Amino acid sequence: MSNLESLKLELKNLGKEYAKLKTLEKTERKAFGEKINQKKNELLKKIAEEEEKLESGALEKIDLSAPFGINESPISFKKGTVHPLSRELALVSKIYSDMGFDVIESRQLDDEFHMFESLNFPAGHPARDGYDTFRTEEGFIPPAHTSTMQYRALTRFRKNLDAGENIAVVVPGRVFRNEDVDATHEHTFYQCEGIFVSKTASLSQLLGTWKNFFETYYGEKLNIKTQPGYFPFTEPSLEFLIEKPKALGGNGWLEMGGCGMIHPNVLKIAGIDPEVYKGFAFGGGIDRLVMLKYGITDVRYFESGKLEFLKEF
């Protein structure tokens, strides 16, 4: 039993002594009462001292274990900021998610099959050279576009079609090209791929879907137009342009990415019958999307790690 506990017990037992008062002669009562009162006061004093010791002991423990006051810091912490591309990628994903698309992650190392064969670039196809692809010594490929995820998205969500639903997926991701870099060309940048498959998917649905995305992102109605493009994995293939948003100065057309109806061979390789299902796909650059929104003049700022640039966001 601790010191404090035994003192408290003593005090409790002292209480019983008061009952004896009644049994005493009047002359004896005064002296007896004074004696127990004195004893009681002594005990209360000792209990208070013990409790104080305990309390100050607890405080000492905190001081010993904490290197500094628990509510203050010797260092002034400066809050960092989210990188503008990370923030805008989250916004892009949210817009597509609100439109009903699943969002899946891409990868930063891929292979020949996903980069080329699954996308209808047979071995020796001249368009393979157009992608300025990096390769590791082991033969892996850092993806040159997010289209490398088409086969994975199609095979993963093929079960939707069996259940009578559509495939609607977007894939934001980091991509790499062996480019001559300049103000609008980086070796490392971001894209967002869109993939939609149903029995009735059409080119007009593709244009409506992408227009809807750009209008939500820039917050105003936009004029769009297309011009012919070429990608082995879509047929027909188009380049998608928007008229510069009025809030950003208007005037002039900007190419935002490539798109088209998914080539029947790409559906076939992914185990989807092109006689029954049709699909559209689109892939746009995130860096240029964000540059336009914030008036950023050089794409190389994003990967530069320059604090003066990053602090603006």
CA dist 38 and 46 (Å) reads 13
Residue 196 beta carbon to ligand FA5: minimum distance, rounded to whole angstroms:
11
Residue 288 beta carbon to ligand FA5: minimum distance, rounded to whole angstroms:
4
Our finding on whether 142 is near ligand FA5 (CB under 6 A) is: no
Cβ-contact 299, 222 below 8 angstroms: no
Report which of 178, 176, 242 is spatially closest to residue 210, judged by C-alpha positions: 242
Among 118, 258, 261, 269, which residue sits at the site for ligand FA5 (rule: CB under 6 A)?
Answer: 258
Our finding on whether 232 is near ligand FA5 (CB under 6 A) is: no
| Dihedral pair phi/psi, residue 70, rounded to 5° | -70, -15
Instruction: Please count the other Cβ atoms lying within 10 Å of the Cβ belonging to residue 144.
Output: 22
Our finding on whether 147 is near ligand FA5 (CB under 6 A) is: yes
What is the identity of the amino acid at 123?
A
**Tokens at 273, concatenated:** 């019958």
Task: Specify the residue, 161 or 226, whose C-beta has the smaller distance to ligand FA5.
Answer: 226
CA dist 182 and 300 (Å) reads 8
What is the identity of the amino acid at 290?
V
Our finding on whether 172 is near ligand FA5 (CB under 6 A) is: no
CA dist 241 and 264 (Å) reads 25
CA dist 95 and 293 (Å) reads 16
Alpha-carbon distances, residue 29 vs 20, 25, 305 (angstroms): 9, 6, 90
Among 143, 172, 173, 285, which residue sits at the site for ligand FA5 (rule: CB under 6 A)?
Answer: 285
Segment interacting with ligand FA5, rule: CB under 6 A, options 53-61, 252-260, 290-298, 303-311:
252-260
Our finding on whether 143 is near ligand FA5 (CB under 6 A) is: no
Residue 255 beta carbon to ligand FA5: minimum distance, rounded to whole angstroms:
6
Segment interacting with ligand FA5, rule: CB under 6 A, options 1-9, 24-32, 160-168, 254-262:
254-262
H-helix or E-strand spanning residue 44? helix 26-65
Among 191, 198, 209, 226, which residue sits at the site for ligand FA5 (rule: CB under 6 A)?
Answer: 191
Our finding on whether 279 is near ligand FA5 (CB under 6 A) is: no
Residue 203 beta carbon to ligand FA5: minimum distance, rounded to whole angstroms:
12
Sheet holding 278-285, edge to edge: 102-103, 167-176, 188-198, 278-285, 253-262, 234-243, 224-228
Residue 111 beta carbon to ligand FA5: minimum distance, rounded to whole angstroms:
17
Contacting residues toward ligand FA5, per CB under 6 A: 145, 147, 177, 179, 185-186, 189, 191, 193, 231, 234, 255, 257-260, 281-285, 287-288, 299
